[in-house]
Amino acid sequence: MDNVGTLVISPTHELASQIAVEAQKLTSHHAGFDVSLFVGGVDKRGQLNGFNRGRKDILVATPGRLKDFLSDSRSGVAEALKNTKMLILDEADPLLDMGFREDIEEIMRVLPSNATRQTFFSATVSKGIQQIAHTHLAPNHRFVNCVSEEGSPFTCCPLPESTIQANGPAFVVLETSPVVTQSLTTTPPLPMDMERQNQHTEALAR
């Protein structure tokens, strides 16, 4: 596995480390899956050596450390991201609040085009996040609002696979915390590129 299949960007060392641990748990039952972690405060050489030795199914990173590796042409990280199938911006709004917007834009320019890449956002849907989404998602993305007409959120969005397959890219809310609920009832939903459901596992493994 020479290419990163899934890239997860998180704003802090702690959050990125937690995500990496959970990703390892989720993939532990699938032989051959590997999770790499790029965060500050840890030896860069050790992180890079581990990344280059193992598979590159999932990479979890903070923006600053990932940008450091991308700026070094000898690291091979930029090359490994050229065929990434899935980008996840965890806590996307805090990423912008902490001043990482320029870094995020630079990282996204290294990734494949939105025609072949799924993009997921989590946390509050701010105006800045909407701007990034509309810039980097395919023009034919669709909205799926997971709040009922009465305003009560669904715990699980009742969206059949056939709907995704028939209509293409969609936005699906996977969390209904008070912040998300308020955002959905007061802010237009954030778009998300989504390929057909039966391609998800394959994309994650690439």
Per-residue tokens: 48: 């890079």
Is 156's pLDDT higher than 60? no
Check residue 17 and give its pLDDT. 95
Other residues' Cβ atoms within 10 Å of the Cβ of residue 53: 9
Find out whether 104 and 95 touch, Cβ atoms under 8 Å: yes
Distance (Å) of CA 62 to CA 38, 72, 162, 163: 6, 16, 35, 34
Nearest to 33 by CA among 45, 43, 44, 24: 24
pLDDT of residue 118: 81
Q: In CATH, what is the architecture of 6-205?
A: 3-Layer(aba) Sandwich (3.40)
- The rounded distance, in Å, linking the Cα atoms of 44 and 50 is 10
* Cα 199 from chain centre: 16
Alpha-carbon distances of 148 from 143, 181, 185, rounded to whole Å:
14, 11, 10
Share of the chain above pLDDT 70, in %: 62
Ranges 19-33, 85-99, 188-202: which has the least confidence: 188-202
Q: Report how far residue 201's alpha carbon sits from residue 127's, in angstroms, rounded to the nearest whole number.
A: 31
pLDDT given for residue 81 in this prediction: 95
Q: Is 134 helix (H, G, I), strand (E, B) or coil?
A: helix
Residue 166 has pLDDT above 80, yes or no: no
Provide φ and ψ at 88, rounded to 5°: -125, 120
Lookup: tokens for 122:
């989590």
Pairwise pLDDT comparison (146 vs 4), residue with the higher score: 4
Would you tell me the crossing angle of helices 63-70 and 101-110 to the nearest 10 degrees?
A: 50
Going by pLDDT thresholds of 50, 70 and 90, the confidence category of residue 146 is low
| Band of pLDDT at residue 83, cut at 50, 70 and 90 | very high
Q: Give me the numbers of helices (H) and strands (E) for the chain, helices first please.
A: 10, 5
Lowest mean pLDDT across 47-56, 91-100, 163-172: 163-172
Q: For residues 145 and 27, which has the higher predicted lDDT (pLDDT)?
A: 27
Q: What is the mean pLDDT of residues 10-20?
A: 94
- 13 or 96, greater pLDDT: 13
- Say which residue, 151 or 183, is predicted with more confidence: 151
